[in-house]
Chains A and B, each alone.
Chain A
Amino acid sequence: GQNIDQPTEMTATEGAIVQINCTYQTSGFNGLFWYQQHAGEAPTFLSYNVLDGLEEKGRFSSFLSRSKGYSYLLLKELQMKDSASYLCAVRENTGGFKTIFGAGTRLFVKA
């Protein structure tokens, strides 16, 4: 089975840095994704980690610790357009590959 936990909501200020945490329990771990979803729109891919460590991509970075079942998404120099839901998703191989999504963290960026 699997379980993915992330905070329901977070608020941060424009220009600041915010870290969104995700913990997971799963068998057959095969990678962790972060997706961004604006209200009323489709999720869009942000990052993928399969090995421990930090992956940096512009203002966004994602970290993974497989031994701790833990990941975070770091957003720097926040902009108003970053207000969205951020979905943590785990890819698992339990006789077939499947991606399981967490409930998402709604981020509000205020001026």
Chain B
Amino acid sequence: DTAVSQTPKYLVTQMGNDKSIKCEQNLGHDTMYWYKQDSKKFLKIMFSYNNKELIINETVPNRFSPKSPDKAHLNLHINSLELGDSAVYFCASSVRSGSTYEQYFGPGTRLTVT
């Protein structure tokens, strides 16, 4: 199936640990994103990559480090996890299609830090 996939879907870990979330899209898109959706359901952009280059880097703690090995993959590594990092993390991808720039979202990774 063509889609944006993320692993893992659920991640429960303790404070201070380091964890990674992986994202892959096989839609042939050239831009990928990481969003954080907190308990209030606010979807906030964290990072964006275009053709493996970082183009958006919002005010995110440097404990968060994205890596894009190729256009189809964008991973997110988080060091020294904190309670406030608990949220759902969505990966997305997009390409210009006609006059739209719609984004396709992965299923999300629910991170719980205890």
Contact = CB atoms under 8 A, between A and B. Distances in A.
Q: Secondary structure of the B side of the interface?
A: strand
B43 A87 contact: yes
A99 B103 CA distance: 9
A97 B43 CA distance: 17
A103 B43 CA distance: 7
B2 interface: no
Interface string B64-88: 0000000000000000000000000
B107 A101 contact: no
A50 B99 contact: yes
Contacts of B40: 103
B22 to A, nearest CB: 16
A43 B43 contact: yes
B48 interface: yes
B19 to A, nearest CB: 20
Contacts of A87: 43
B62 interface: no
Interface in A31-70: 31, 33, 37, 41-45, 48, 50
Contacts of A97: 101
Contact of A91 (B55, B90, B101): B101
A30 B105 CA distance: 20
Interface of A: 31, 33, 37, 41-45, 48, 50, 85, 87, 91, 96-101, 103-104
